[in-house]
Amino acid sequence: MRSKTKNLIVLSTVAIFLVGCEGGDVKISPVTTDNSQDNSETTTNIDQGTEVVENPCAFYVKSGQTFEGDFDGRDCSYSSIFVDSGNPLTEDLLIPALPGDGVHQFTGSLVVGEKGTMEELAAAGITEGGDGPTVSIEAGVTMTWPSPQKFVSITRGSQIIAVGEANAPITFTSFTDVATQRGEDDLAFDAVGEWGGMLINGFGITNKCAHSSGSFDGDDLVLASSCDVDTEGLAGNDETPHGGDNNNDSSGRLEYVVVKHTGAQIGEGNEINGITFGAVGRNTIVRNIQTYSTLDDGIELFGGALNIENFVSVFARDDSIDLDAGWRGTINNALVIHNENLGNGCIESDGIASYSSQSDERINTVISQGINTRPVINNLTCIVSGQDSNTGDRGEGVGIRFREGIWPTLNDSMVVMAFSADDADTNNYCVRFGGDEEVDGLLSGDASFNSVIFACVDKTKGGPIGADSLEDFLEGSGSQFVDGVVSEDDPTATSNTSLVLLEGTPPIYSVAIDSMVINDAAPAVPAPASGRVGALSTAIDDWTAGWTYGIHEGSRGAPLWFE
């Protein structure tokens, strides 16, 4: 039961029997009550019984006043008075599952918590995740927004607890997407920019801010001053800062969460991603998440130490995975599928924020403190379309690009760009690596590629690494490039038995390493520590089944272009 007086929806009618002197007519008059303003108790007697239904929408109480959604018998709707960017949520909120296919429709942005500087938040007693309000979302919930100007933002100190299930994921999407699912509209299966996206902020470490002493791997880092970095994709009153000195921070929990049809461009290079993690700490739990059809990146991580298990990006129009500003975490199992005609990098990642404007001294300091981006990515499958045009300035479809002082570790992974035609004049490289700091990382062993298979027409860009080309260096240290790939090759056994990497329907599952064929031979990479190269082994162990969108038959708007 709710703690407040119930707001009741009358579901039945009261029969009022008016019998004339001749005996005769029975008149039934419907009784309805609009109590959305006074929230008074109402009941309806039916055959001397009582049937009442409580408003199932989310609600909170603030300063003695109750704010709740309006229920129309199917969906719950929330005005900007309930929550919006200029009216952030400061109380805990539960978003309940609705019966049937009911959804929660928000007119305003869902901003959880105050948006002040570190000093302002500290004065209010907010110094870590959990000090601010928490929004909790039940399994199976669908939440929608009307336009790209509306978004979800979890501020520093606040938390989101969104725990879905494999058979009841939590979905963040647009009004139009839901209308299309109901047969009331016709949204294109790969539409973007239908609503903003999700931004989660924490008190983690970002090299956007200076640290006077300490190091990531040794003594605690000490901030030189307050750290308040505006999160990409927002402007003006919408801005929500991130950053601090606590990589153990927690911004909550995401499990079995799908974010669809996002994107908003604020300015040149300033766009909302599917999910943006701003300095999110390692005590945040993120596993089994998907971004689907995003205008900008699938996910972007700015600093922090968040770890992610089981990530899917389908149809990101820019980079599927973008890493920057000193992120020091691990991604275990990631499946990336490009759009056939759009999309830039599978991964694009930078080691030091605003690198081109930094002095050599500043760059050296960031690296010596261990706060340059140092990702560990295990079991990645990139299926890249290899298209040669894109929207805006995003360029061709490419594989992996590491730059600007990054030291990555990539294990047991594959980049495949052999499903579609490739133009000799384009630049659809599999891996791009260069710059003095990145080369130093490979030569010192602080960066490495281990048991990685690259199958692209344009193999590499960048280098050399010491005396070797980038291709020779990577092959000498445990990776392999496919030779002689023709543009229409399918890396399954169906069209070219000299190249067999994937199998299944759709072909997204890694062939067992002892059954793979590369250049008419067994793979030359060392046996992967995980037992497989790539994100998925077989359909039996498919962690994407049942909850993702756009991959499997029965839960997508169109078949994948390479099936």
* pLDDT score of 98: 97
Distant-in-sequence, close-in-space partners of 177: CB < 8 Å, separation ≥ 6: 144, 187, 191, 194, 260, 261
| pLDDT tier at 422, thresholds 50, 70, 90 | low
Where residue 224 falls (left for φ over 0; alpha for ψ -120 to 50; beta otherwise) is alpha
Q: Is the pLDDT of residue 113 over 50?
A: yes
Question: In angstroms, what CA-CA distances link 486 with 4, 235, 342, 457, 458?
Answer: 67, 46, 21, 7, 11
What is the per-residue pLDDT for 425? 60
* pLDDT tens profile 149-181: 999 999 999 999 999 999 999 999 999 999 999
pLDDT of 491 > 90? The answer is no
Alpha helices in 264-415 (DSSP H): 360-368
pLDDT at residue 34, as a whole number: 34
Q: Out of 26-35, 345-354, 372-381, 476-485, which region has the weakest mean confidence (pLDDT)?
A: 26-35
CA distances to 140, 252, 254, 544 from 287, rounded to whole Å, are 16, 12, 6, 11
234-277: per-residue pLDDT in tens? Answer: 767 788 899 999 999 999 999 999 999 998 876 555 678 999 99
Ramachandran category for residue 362: left, alpha or beta (phi over 0 → left; psi -120 to 50 → alpha):
alpha
pLDDT of residue 471: 97
Q: What is the pLDDT of residues 352-367, one digit of tens each?
A: 999 999 999 999 999 9
Yes or no: say if 337 and 314 are a contact pair by the CB < 8 Å rule: yes
Distance CA 466, CA 75 (A): 62
Identify the top-confidence range among 324-328, 424-428, 458-462: 324-328
Q: What distances in angstroms separate CA 369 from CA 167, 242, 373, 443, one per listed residue? A: 44, 20, 11, 19
The pLDDT, as a whole number, for residue 423 is 56
Residue-averaged pLDDT of the chain: 87
Tens digit of pLDDT for each residue in 273-323?
Answer: 999 999 999 999 999 999 999 999 999 999 999 999 999 999 999 999 999
Output the CA–CA distances (angstroms, integers) from residue 347 to 24, 209, 255, 321, in the order listed: 78, 24, 22, 5
From 541, 451, 461, 556, select the one nearest 501 (Cα to Cα).
451
Residue 423 near residue 487, CB atoms below 8 Å: no
In tens, the pLDDT along 428-475 reads: 899 999 899 999 999 999 999 999 999 988 899 999 999 999 999 999
Q: How confident is the model at residue 217 (pLDDT cuts 50, 70, 90)?
A: confident
Gyration radius (Cα) of the chain, Å: 26
Dihedral-angle region of residue 179 (phi above 0 means left; psi in -120 to 50 means alpha; beta otherwise)? alpha
